[in-house]
Chains A and B, each alone.
Chain A
Amino acid sequence: MARLLPALLCLASGFLLVSLGWPHRKSAFSDYLFRASLSVGFGAGVFSVDFFLSLPAGVTHLLLIDLGALAVLLIAFFGQRLLSAAASVAMPPERTGELPRWSERAITVGFVIALCSALYSAIIRILAYPHGYGWDAFSIWNLHARFLFLGGANWRDGFTTLLPWSHPDYPLLLPAVVAHFWSYLGYDDPTVPAVISLLFTFSTVALLLAALSMIRGRMSAMLGATTLLATPAFIEQGTSQYADVPLSFFILASIALLCLRDDLARKDQAHAERYSGLLALAGLAVGCAAWTKNEGLLFLCTLVLARLLTLLRFDVSRGNWISVAPRIAPLVVATIPVLLLIAFFKHVIAPTGDLFSSSASTLHKLLDLSRYWAITRWYLKGFFRFGGWLLLPGTLLLIAYYAAARREKHAEPQTGIRTATLALALTLAGYFAVYLVTPYDIFWHLRFSLMRLFLQLWPSAIFLFFLIVKTREGEAGEVVQVENIEIPSP
Chain B
Amino acid sequence: MSYSRITIASVSFVLCCLLSSVCLIVDAPAAALKSGSDDIASRSDQRFSALKGALPERGVVGYVGESGPLAAGDYYLTQYALAPVVVDHSPNHDLVIGNFPDSLSRDVPSNLQLKKDFGSGVLLFAARPSPQRNVQ
Residues on A close to B: CB < 8 A?
98-100, 103, 106-107, 110-111, 113-114, 117-118, 120-121, 124-125, 127-132, 135, 137-139, 142-143, 146-147, 150-152, 154-155, 157-158, 160, 162-163, 165-166, 190, 219, 223, 226-227, 229-232, 235, 387-392, 394, 397, 400-401, 404-405, 470-472
Are B29 and A147 within 8 A (Cβ)? Answer: no
Chain A proximity mask over B78-100: 1 for CB below 8 Å, otherwise 0: 01100110101000000000000
B24 to chain A: closest residue by CB: A121
Among B37-45, B104-112, B114-122, the stretch in contact with A: B37-45
Q: Inside 8 A of A114's CB, which chain B residues have their CB?
A: 14, 17-18, 21
Q: Is the CB of A165 within 8 A of B7?
A: no
B22: chain A residues within 8 A (beta carbon): 117, 390
B43-65 at interface with A (beta carbon < 8 Å): 45, 58, 60
Could you list 30 A-B pairs, sorted by A, with CB under 8 Å? A98-B3, A100-B7, A106-B11, A107-B10, A110-B17, A117-B22, A118-B24, A125-B28, A130-B37, A130-B42, A131-B39, A135-B73, A139-B76, A150-B83, A160-B86, A162-B88, A165-B76, A166-B79, A219-B10, A223-B13, A226-B17, A230-B17, A230-B20, A390-B20, A392-B16, A397-B17, A400-B13, A401-B9, A404-B9, A405-B9
Chain A min CB distance to B99 (Å): 15
- Residues of chain A with a CB closer than 8 A to B29's CB: 124-125, 128-129
Chain B interface residues toward A at CB < 8 A: 3, 5-11, 13-25, 27-30, 32-33, 37-39, 41-42, 45, 58, 60, 72-73, 76-77, 79-80, 83-84, 86, 88
Contact B84 A138 (CB under 8 A): no
B14 to chain A, nearest CB (A): 4
Q: Are A401 and B13 in contact (CB under 8 A)?
A: yes
Which residues from chain B contact A470 at a C-beta distance below 8 Å?
6
User: Binding site of A, secondary structure by majority: helix, strand, loop or mixed?
Assistant: helix
Residues of B within 8 A of A125 (CB): 28-29
Chain A residue numbers with a CB within 8 Å of B20 are 230-232, 387-390, 392, 394
Whole-angstrom CA separation of A142 from B60 in the bound complex: 19
The complex places the Cα of A235 from the Cα of B29 at a distance, in Å, of 13
Q: Which residues of B contact A162 (CB under 8 A)?
A: 60, 86, 88
CB-contact partner of B3 in A121, A137, A158, A472, under 8 A? A472
CB distance from B74 to the nearest CB of A (A): 11
Task: Name the CB-closest residue of A to B14.
Answer: A110
Residues of chain A with a CB closer than 8 A to B11's CB: 103, 106-107, 110
The verdict on A232 contacting B39 (CB below 8 Å), with A146-B84, A154-B84 known, is no
B83 near A147: Cβ-Cβ < 8 Å: yes
Contact partners of A117 in chain B: CB under 8 A = 21-22, 24-25
In the complex, chain A residues whose CB is within 8 Å of the CB of B28 = 120-121, 124-125
Contact assessment for B73 and A128 in the assembled complex, using a CB-CB cutoff below 8 Å = no
Q: Which residues of chain A are within 8 angstroms of B58 by Cβ–Cβ distance? A: 151-152, 154, 157
Minimal Cβ-Cβ distance residue in B for A220:
B10
Which chain A residue lies CB-closest to B82? A146
Chain B hits for A401, CB < 8 A: 9-10, 13
Q: How far is the CB of A364 from chain B (nearest CB, A)?
A: 28
Q: What's the minimum C-beta distance from A127 to chain B, rounded to whole angstroms?
A: 6
A128 touches B37 (CB 8 A): yes
Inter-chain contact A227/B80, CB cutoff 8 Å: no
B21 to chain A, nearest CB (A): 4
Across the A-B interface, the 7 shortest Cβ-Cβ residue pairs: A131-B41, A110-B14, A404-B9, A230-B17, A117-B21, A390-B23, A139-B76
Report the bound CA distance from A166 to B77 in whole Å. Answer: 11
CA distance A404 to B41 in the complex (A): 48
